Amino acid sequence: MTSVPSTYSGVADVAAVLILLSEFAMLRAPLLRSQIRLYAFQSIVVTTLAIVIASTRDINELYLLALFSFGLKVVLVPSLVLRLLRKAELELGGGSALGVPNMILLAIGVSAIGFFSIGSLRVHSTVLPTTALSISAAVVLVAFLPIIFRSDVVSQAIGFFSLENGVSLASLVVAAKLPLVVEVAFLFDLLLAVVVFGLIMRLHHGRTGSLSTQELDRLKG
């Protein structure tokens, strides 16, 4: 007899599916602005999941984590990247080495690999939602696609940030009780990475006058 899923695992699964779907939506979003909005939406889902887990499992530290996560991923990162876009006066992302339909097909393929490879571990846990963990592996793999195929620094950076959302999802569903100091340090690290990404993107824009990665072909061999 299969047991009824708990609120916790139900919410975790729904959140995981929403994050994966927004990852797919990013693949077909030609406007950089829409990609950033989708990332912000993803981050809101991750934050909401943190709050739900905090209340259903009585982990008060997660409220603090949710607050940090909201400030950083929903407010700070999107506004920083949008500012860069305004300065660069750019709307559309660079070209893509693969068309949208092919990229979506590939994304379905890699998410299936991620989902079933974790599923094949046959981990049964009474407390942890293993389906959400499988979906988080799919999110991580799909996040690689814009980084590999898109040829502008913003899409690539957003790809990396959404990969981090996939890892955050995994962290929330299987390691929610990681000591708070570590969780906050992870976020602080993300903040550092965002600042460095932003600095190098600005440097790149300053030197090439564009956000495209097409010119990055000097170093070979």
Partner 1 sequence: MSSILLVLVAMPFVVAIACYFLPTRIAKVITIASGSIAFVLSLILLPSAASHSQIVVGSLLRVDALSMVFLVATTFLYGTTAIFASGYLSLSDNDTGKRYGRRFYAGLNLFCWSMTAAPLVNGLALLWIAVEITTVISALLVAIDDTDEATEASWKYVLIASLGLGIALFGTIIMYYAGTAVFGPSYELSFTTLLTGATNFPPDIVRLSFVLAVLGYGTKMGLAPVHTWLPDAHSEAPTPISALLSGALLAISFYAILRYFQIAIRSLGPTFPREVLLIFGLASLALASLYLLAQRDIKRLLAYSSVEHMGILAIGMSFAAPIAIFGVLLHVLAHAAAKGTAFFGAGSVVRKFATKDLHKIRGGVDLLPWSGPMFLAAILALSAMPPFGIFRSEFLIVSGGLKDPQDTAAVLLVILVTIAFFGLSWFGTQTMLSPRDSLQIQHPTGGPTLVKGEVSIYIVVSMAIGLAALVVLGVHPPAVLTRLLTHAAGELGSPS
Residue ranges in contact with partner 1 by CB under 8 A: 117-118, 121-123, 125, 127-128, 133, 137, 140, 144, 147, 153, 156-157, 160, 163-164, 166-167, 170-171, 174-179, 182, 185-186, 189, 192-193, 195-197, 199-201, 203-204, 207-208, 213, 216, 218-219, 221
CB of 169 to partner 1, least distance (A): 10
Distance CA 210, CA 88 (A): 7
Give yes or no for a contact between 211 and 153, defined as CB atoms under 8 angstroms apart: yes
CB of 160 to partner 1, least distance (A): 6
Question: What residues have CB less than 8 Å from 82, skipping those under 6 apart?
Answer: 33, 36
Give yes or no for a contact between 36 and 96, defined as CB atoms under 8 angstroms apart: no
**Cβ atoms < 10 Å from Cβ of 175:** 12
CB of 78 to partner 1, least distance (A): 18
Nearest CB to partner 1, comparing residues 7 and 125: 125
H/E stretch holding 86 reads: helix 77-88
Phi, psi of 219 (to 5 degrees): -95, 110
Distance CA 21, CA 111 (A): 11
Largest CA distance in the chain: 63
Nearest CB to partner 1, comparing residues 104 and 128: 128
Phi, psi of 127 (to 5 degrees): -105, -25
Nearest CB to partner 1, comparing residues 1 and 218: 218
Nearest CB to partner 1, comparing residues 101 and 120: 120
CB of 207 to partner 1, least distance (A): 5
CB of 210 to partner 1, least distance (A): 12
CB of 10 to partner 1, least distance (A): 18
Phi, psi of 150 (to 5 degrees): -80, 145
